[in-house]
Amino acid sequence: MSNKYADRSRVVRVIFIVVFALFVGRLAMLQLFSSEYKEKAEQQSLRNITQYPARGFIYDRNGKLLVHNEAVYDLMVIPRMVKDLDTNLFCKSLGITRDDFDERMLKARKYSPYSSSIFIKQISKEEYARFENKMYRFKGFYISQRTLRIYDRPIAAQVLGYVGEVNDADLKRDSYYRMGDYIGKSGIEKSYEEVLRGVKGKKVMHVDVHSREIGPYRNGAFDTLPIEGSNLYTTLDADLQAYAEDLMANKRGCVVAIEPSTGEVLAMVSAPTYDPNLLVGRIRGKNYVMLNTDIAKPMLNRALMGQYPPGSIFKVAQAMTALDLGVITPNTGFVCDKHPGCHNHPSARSVREAIKMSCNPYFYQVYRRVIQQGKYKNIYKDSQYGLTVWHDYMLRFGFGQKLDIDLPKTGMSTGNIPDTAYYNRWYGKERWAFSTIYSNSIGQGEVTVVPIQMANLAAIVANHGWYITPHVVRFYGNDSIQDEKYKIRHETGIKKEYFDIAADGMYDVVHVAGGTARRARVDGLDICGKTGTAENYGNDHSVFIAFAPKNNPKIALAVYVENAQGGGGSWAAPIAGLIIEKYLNGEVKRKDVEKMYREINPCQKLPLTRRVKKKK
């Protein structure tokens, strides 16, 4: 019996000896051969600091600075390291209340007690200078430097966009970002975010018990330098942009100006607009709410998001389509019987005259020949066939689709070019014909277009049948990188000689007696244009497209003024003439005209001359 217990006792002793030996061996290995505990101890006194890169600068087409950076400071906190804090002194030093402090600290703890997060963001240089000497008294807090966007001129807000703090969706979409980081939220800042943002760096610092930095960890062996974002050169002409915005003050509408040969956007104005500096710094949140709730919608980019009836500018595309289909000839004439509504002018004897006089009955007949081509005896089937052909031509002009401009596509409009499916849903299959949809002929009815598409139509005529997709960035980076898709020509497939006719007619609109846009005329400049008066529930909208000079065009544009008394020839056309004069001549000599259209708004009566008494 005693031998039995003696054996058990030896087994127990052997187990204890083995376990003790394992512990001793492990302890010896950790102390003598492993740096794990040493590193953990070091980590208690280390601070990982993100080195934010400078965001790339943004310039206009002539190298004028539009957007740059200014240093600001974020106050960071590591909640578990906050000890023995004199809260009253801390709040007084930063100008915050105790409730602010408690709310911010709670948010930081919820994020992570062990990791750093922003306590107060975007402290100015002046605020930081006053606070810096007291930092040693506030254990657990430190300063991280970053840059803030500064907009040199208060222009192009909807094009340039703004930068804001990342949200949950941003964090899930891209692992590059951490809470408190900033990202482009709209405009160029958003669409070229990866180009502009650069690459973050990291600095690992030793800190003492008072949370003061005492030097780099392991002589900076784990530090990485930030890489600055690439500079970006836009297609915008800053002076032209500023001038067009000035002319559109006190108005609602938009201006889009394009260089026809390249598709480069020279100016893009949405009125009313706002100063982009309002969405910078700690006041950004308050100002964003103010702008976003403004009934005038200054943050809406009407040039890309607005959907409007084009009015009579649409007649140019109808004429080109009908000529190409062979349903009319250049010398086809129609009697002006004043139906549907038309102003007092002679009957047009050719396409050129019809464009000059903007004759509604003429284009009513043109559209009828396009829709009812006589391919089928059944009028409903014939109209379906004709509308399908017409719809395809309108797509060739860039209508009814989002033009692939290099700005965010969210909210961008396509306009509406109705097809057979649209009318089948609306009226029922084989229950509609030309007589149901004839308003499309003059840019009314179910047709809507986007202002960028209107300017693109002007560029197509200027180029005699082709366009390059409009874009707002020329190149970026030291290697002048360009997007190849903005070099591709999109052909309408319509004969060049037909666009010669359109250009001649548009020249007559501005320069020949009986034209509807005599107020767009500028001495010495061969401006080609087309007016439109888009019907509306309130005052009609004033529309004008143009390009100049007629030979070797340098600018094509669309001007849209909402609720403007007097129509296209009275408002949009003269504003376009001033913009063209500014761009091509470098200055505007017609100071009286400039002053009038800068100061007056569409709710006031415009002093009309005899030659523009009738709207069109």
Name the CA dihedral angle for 315, 321, 324, 329, rounded to a multiple of 10 degrees.
-40
Report pLDDT digits (tens) over 487-497. Answer: 999 999 999 99
Give the C-alpha distances (Å, rounded to integers) separating 142 from 73, 131, 132, 278, 611. Answer: 10, 11, 10, 28, 71
Give the C-alpha distances (Å, rounded to integers) separating 482 from 232, 259, 407, 416, 472. Answer: 10, 17, 15, 31, 11
Residue 549 has pLDDT above 50, yes or no: yes
Q: What does DSSP assign to residue 347? A: P
pLDDT at 24: 62
Highest mean pLDDT among 108-112, 129-133, 500-504: 500-504
Q: How confident is the model at residue 222 (pLDDT cuts 50, 70, 90)?
A: confident
pLDDT at 16: 67
Report pLDDT digits (tens) over 29-77. Answer: 655 555 544 444 444 577 777 888 999 999 999 999 999 998 888 898 9
Q: How confident is the model at residue 7 (pLDDT cuts 50, 70, 90)?
A: low
What pTM, to 2 d.p., does this model score?
0.86
> In the chain, pLDDT over 70 holds for what percent of residues?
89
Closest CA to 461 of 545, 391, 561, 348: 545
pLDDT at 145: 82
- pLDDT, mean over the chain: 89
Alpha carbons 240 and 244: distance in angstroms, whole number: 6
What is the pLDDT averaged over residues 356-371?
95
Q: Is the peptide bond before 53 cis (omega within 30 degrees of 0)?
A: no
Task: Return the minimum-mean-pLDDT range out of 74-83, 362-371, 523-532, 583-592.
Answer: 74-83
Residue 590 has pLDDT above 70, yes or no: yes
pLDDT at 594: 95
Give the C-alpha distances (Å, rounded to integers) separating 329 from 12, 367, 371. Answer: 112, 14, 16
Residue 251 has pLDDT above 50, yes or no: yes
- Which domains does the chain show, CATH number per domain? 47-78+103-197+207-234 (3.90.1310.10), 238-612 (3.40.710.10)
Report pLDDT digits (tens) over 433-456. Answer: 999 999 999 999 999 999 999 999
One-letter amino acid for residue 5 of the chain: Y
What is the pLDDT averaged over residues 477-503?
95
Task: Return the minimum-mean-pLDDT range out of 187-191, 305-309, 535-539.
Answer: 535-539
pLDDT at 6: 60
Strand partners, 209: none
Pair 184, 161: CB distance under 8 Å: yes
DSSP per-residue letters across 56-94: PPEE-TTS-EEEEEEEEEEEEE-GGG--S--HHHHHHHH
Q: How confident is the model at residue 567 (pLDDT cuts 50, 70, 90)?
A: confident
Name the CA dihedral angle for 207, 130, 166, 99, rounded to a multiple of 10 degrees.
100
58-59 and 232-234: which strand pairing?
Answer: parallel
Query: What's the token pair of residue 585?
Result: 């001549």
Residue 467 has pLDDT above 90, yes or no: yes
Report pLDDT digits (tens) over 269-323. Answer: 999 999 999 998 888 889 999 999 999 999 999 999 999 999 999 999 999 999 9
Report pLDDT digits (tens) over 401-424. Answer: 999 999 999 989 999 999 999 999
pLDDT at 29: 61
pLDDT at 127: 83
Q: What does DSSP assign to residue 53? A: P
pLDDT at 248: 96
Sign of the C-alpha dihedral, residues 421, 423, 426, 428?
A: negative
Task: Select the more confidently predicted residue: 81 or 459.
Answer: 459
What is the pLDDT averaged over residues 374-378?
95
Task: Select the more confidently predicted residue: 111 or 572.
Answer: 572
Place of tokens 């906050």: 82
What is the pLDDT averaged over residues 89-95?
89
